[in-house]
Every structure is written in C-alpha cells, then in structure tokens.
C-alpha cells in the first residue's frame, strides 16, 4: 500500500458518506459527526504510530486504513435506525465488518490489499468497539489496539465539544438518549472508577455516568503515546469540568489523574 492508495480510499470514503446525506439538518449533523470523527481517528492513529515508532510504512498505512473504515457501519446504522446506540439497533462494528466482507464495499475499499491485510482490517472494524479485546492472533490484536486507542482519543474530543455546546446545538444521537442526571452519579459507576475498571453502557443511568464511562477508558489504553496525547489535550480536566461538584466526583477525578500520571511517567 502507498500513500496514494490511502488518498484514493479516503476519497471513496467521503463519497460513501455523501451517499448517506440526510434531508433534515439534525440527521445530517449526526452523519457529519461520524464523518469528521473518522477523519480525526485517521490523523490520531498516525500520531500514535509515529509516537510509538512503528516504522514499517505498510503497518502505519494499514492502521490508517483500518481507522478510515472502522465506523463504516455507523452510516447504514443511522440511516436505518436513526441512532448510534448499538444496544437498541445493531452492533455497528459487526455491521461494518459484514459490509466489507459481503457487499460492493469490499471491492470499493479492500481491492488491491492482500487477503491477510483484508482480514486484519475486517477484524479491526468488527471488534473496535467491543468492551474488551477478543483473543486473536498477534498482528490482529496489535492493529486492533491501535484503532481502539485512536478511536477513544477522538471520542474524548467529540464529547468535550458536545458538553460545551448549548443543548439545542448538540448532535442528537451523540448523547445516546440519556437524561442529564442533575447532579447525580450512580454509586456503581464511582466504584468502577476506584477499582480501575472499564464502565459499560449497561450500567449507566445518566450523562454524568456517561462522562465517567468515557473517562474509564483510560483503563483500556494500550500505548503510551495515547496517554501522552490524552494529557496534552487535557481531556480529563475538560470532561471533569462537566461533572457535578462534590467530594465523590473530585475523588474520582483525582484517582483517574493519578492513574494517567503513572502511565506517562518518564
Ligand atoms: Fe465505532
């Protein structure tokens, strides 16, 4: 694969997204959110591969391709169900993998890649949003780790921006239909933070819980460069600013801060 191949794929991706253009502004905002997210995940995965000195050119390009395709299932998911909530619609990772295996998207996006590269990408798409990493061969796991880190990095950006917006300007599908929470954080959510455990969507009740769910992703970061970017972009401080004031929230944030500090030492 060459840089030129990637540029061609990117153009095809943008055309693909354009084919999902929606008539109402609210719907189109949701589509654009995922388009912009995808492009930023491509950029972030490049920063991670460079930061980790993943020198083999082909590996870095393969990673960027996996990033470009990782949310390919989001567009048909939204067109059909008008939501990004996998639980109430379809698993968008699995849907994306199926589309890449069985439809004309295979020809559009995977032609010219070796069988091995195709299966690496399909696996990365399929499992990028799984709560935990599945057991796979070493190279698949490595690519998946890169995609998962880059994806998280940009989702933090999405929500820092989301919470900073007036409610009327927010993308309707981003908040997963959760209520504000009005100063409440669920006890189980806090417990998970203190026990360094990833929080799953199933256990949360409101947007405050969701902010901590997003922050609990630091427990699932694979590369030091990702931690460095997380710190540099001040995602912890910026998301924490939207948590309700109180001793418990402060303690949770301090705990997360300490965890990240340990991971970026030296
Ligand atoms: Fe995704």
Is residue 205 classed as helix, strand or coil in its secondary structure? Answer: coil
Q: Provide the domain limits for residue 226.
A: 178-263
Q: Please say whether the dihedral angle defined by the alpha carbons of residues 45, 151, 140 and 213, taken in this order, is positive or negative.
A: positive
Give me ligand 1 centre to Cα 93, in Å.
Answer: 6
Number of domains in the chain: 2
State mean pLDDT over 60-73: 97
Q: Are residues 184 and 142 in the same domain?
A: no
Asked if residue 159 is part of any domain, the answer here is: no
Give me ligand 1 centre to Cα 128, in Å.
Answer: 6
Q: Are residues 114 and 41 in the same domain?
A: yes
Q: Are residues 24 and 108 in the same domain?
A: yes
- Examine the pLDDT at 55 and tell me if it is beyond 70: no
State mean pLDDT over 18-32: 96
Asked if residue 161 is part of any domain, the answer here is: no
Asked if residue 170 is part of any domain, the answer here is: no
Asked if residue 121 is part of any domain, the answer here is: yes
Q: What is the pTM of this model?
A: 0.94
- Examine the pLDDT at 256 and tell me if it is beyond 90: yes
Q: Tell me how crowded residue 143 is: count the other CB atoms within 10 A of its CB.
A: 24
Amino acid 70: pLDDT: 98
State mean pLDDT over 79-85: 95
Q: Are residues 36 and 135 in the same domain?
A: yes
In this structure, what token pair is assigned to residue 149? 């880190």
Give me ligand 1 centre to Cα 214, in Å.
Answer: 14
Q: Are residues 183 and 144 in the same domain?
A: no
Q: Which of 14-23, 56-65, 79-88 has the lowest mean pLDDT?
A: 56-65
Give me ligand 1 centre to Cα 249, in Å.
Answer: 28
Amino acid 144: pLDDT: 97
| Greatest extent of the chain over all pairs of C-alpha atoms, in Å | 56
Asked if residue 167 is part of any domain, the answer here is: no
Amino acid 64: pLDDT: 97
Amino acid 175: pLDDT: 78
Q: Tell me how crowded residue 257 is: count the other CB atoms within 10 A of its CB.
A: 16
Q: When comparing pLDDT for 182 and 33, which is higher?
A: 33
Give me ligand 1 centre to Cα 264, in Å.
Answer: 26
Alpha helices in 195-246 (DSSP H): 207-216, 224-232, 235-240
Dihedral angle at the C-alpha atoms of 39, 197, 49, 95, nearest 10 degrees? -40
Q: Are residues 146 and 182 in the same domain?
A: no
Asked if residue 191 is part of any domain, the answer here is: yes
Asked if residue 168 is part of any domain, the answer here is: no
Q: Are residues 19 and 121 in the same domain?
A: yes
Please write the tens of the pLDDT for every residue from 176-224: 778 887 889 999 999 999 999 999 888 899 999 999 999 999 999 999 9
Asked if residue 192 is part of any domain, the answer here is: yes
- Examine the pLDDT at 88 and tell me if it is beyond 80: yes
CATH number at residue 10: 1.10.3210.10
In this structure, what token pair is assigned to residue 58? 């082909």
Mean pLDDT value across the chain: 93
Give me ligand 1 centre to Cα 87, in Å.
Answer: 13
Give me ligand 1 centre to Cα 33, in Å.
Answer: 12
96 close to 71: Cβ distance less than 8 angstroms: yes
């Amino acid at each position: 694969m060459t840089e030129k191949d990637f540029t061609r794929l990117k153009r095809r991706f943008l055309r693909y997204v354009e084919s999902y253009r929606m008539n109402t502004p609210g719907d189109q905002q949701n589509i654009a959110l995922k388009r912009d997210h995808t492009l930023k995940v491509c950029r972030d995965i490049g920063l991670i591969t460079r930061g980790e000195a993943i020198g083999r050119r082909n590996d870095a390009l393969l990673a960027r391709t996996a990033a470009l395709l990782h949310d390919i299932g989001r567009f048909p998911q939204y067109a059909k169900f008008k939501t990004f909530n996998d639980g109430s619609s379809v698993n968008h990772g699995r849907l994306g993998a199926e589309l890449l295996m069985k439809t004309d998207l295979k020809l559009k996006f995977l032609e010219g890649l070796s069988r091995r590269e195709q299966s690496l990408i399909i696996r990365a798409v399929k499992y990028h949003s799984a709560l935990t990493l599945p057991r796979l061969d070493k190279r698949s796991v490595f690519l998946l780790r890169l995609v998962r880190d880059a994806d998280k990095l940009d989702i933090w950006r999405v929500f820092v921006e989301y919470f900073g917006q007036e409610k009327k300007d927010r993308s309707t599908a981003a908040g997963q239909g959760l209520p504000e929470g009005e100063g409440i954080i669920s006890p189980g959510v806090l417990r998970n933070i203190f026990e360094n455990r990833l929080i799953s969507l199933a256990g949360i009740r409101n947007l405050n819980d969701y902010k901590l769910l997003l922050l609990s992703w630091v427990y699932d970061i694979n590369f030091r460069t990702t931690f460095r970017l997380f710190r540099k972009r001040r995602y912890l401080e910026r998301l924490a600013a939207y948590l309700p004031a109180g001793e418990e929230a402060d303690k949770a944030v301090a705990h997360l801060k300490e965890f990240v500090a340990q991971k970026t030492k030296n």
